[in-house]
Structure 1
């Protein structure tokens, strides 16, 4: 872990992640974060898409679980249509 740094929040709610931390973590402009706040703690977690192999594995597992639960394609189509109607 590195030495703590300080930063300030702008009037627009923006903060600057110190350069040393950005460099060490390989953060570039446009990176997305999940932000979690509780009391006086804020956690930033980078969000990234899984690589193709991981995605294929996740999809295969989801299909296996759906078959095990007795789901059909029509169940999925109906669930998507219902969710879109709620918008």
Structure 2
């Protein structure tokens, strides 16, 4: 396995930074990839993040609720909210 290595880049007049090609390839960074930027003292950290597709996530959540309705008939508002909370907890546990 190749060792990680440091590289030097320059900040443009517009504040843009070029991430070296080797690092982009290694991390799968392509155009439109979202990066979290964190600055602390004299350090800047870029972390690749995945932002969920909200529409897709809502469809998944509604399918889950609809399956439960099909199995147990109509749900109360409280039961629907409980299913939403369960779904959110399951998604949150996948993040970390």
TM-score, normalization by structure 2:
0.52
**Which blocks of at least 5 consecutive residues in structure 2 are unaligned?**
62-83, 90-96
Provide the residue aligned with 2:29 in structure 1: 27
Provide the residue aligned with 2:86 in structure 1: 60
Distance in 1 (alpha carbons) for counterparts of 2:41 and 2:51: 29
Aligned length: 60
Distance in 1 (alpha carbons) for counterparts of 2:21 and 2:12: 17
Cα RMSD, aligned residues only: 2.7
- 1:9-51 per-residue CA deviation (whole Å, 9 max, x = no partner) reads 0000000000000000111001111111011100111120359
Provide the residue aligned with 1:3 in structure 2: 5
TM-score, normalization by structure 1:
0.56
**Which blocks of at least 5 consecutive residues in structure 1 are unaligned?**
64-87
Distance in 1 (alpha carbons) for counterparts of 2:88 and 2:4: 39
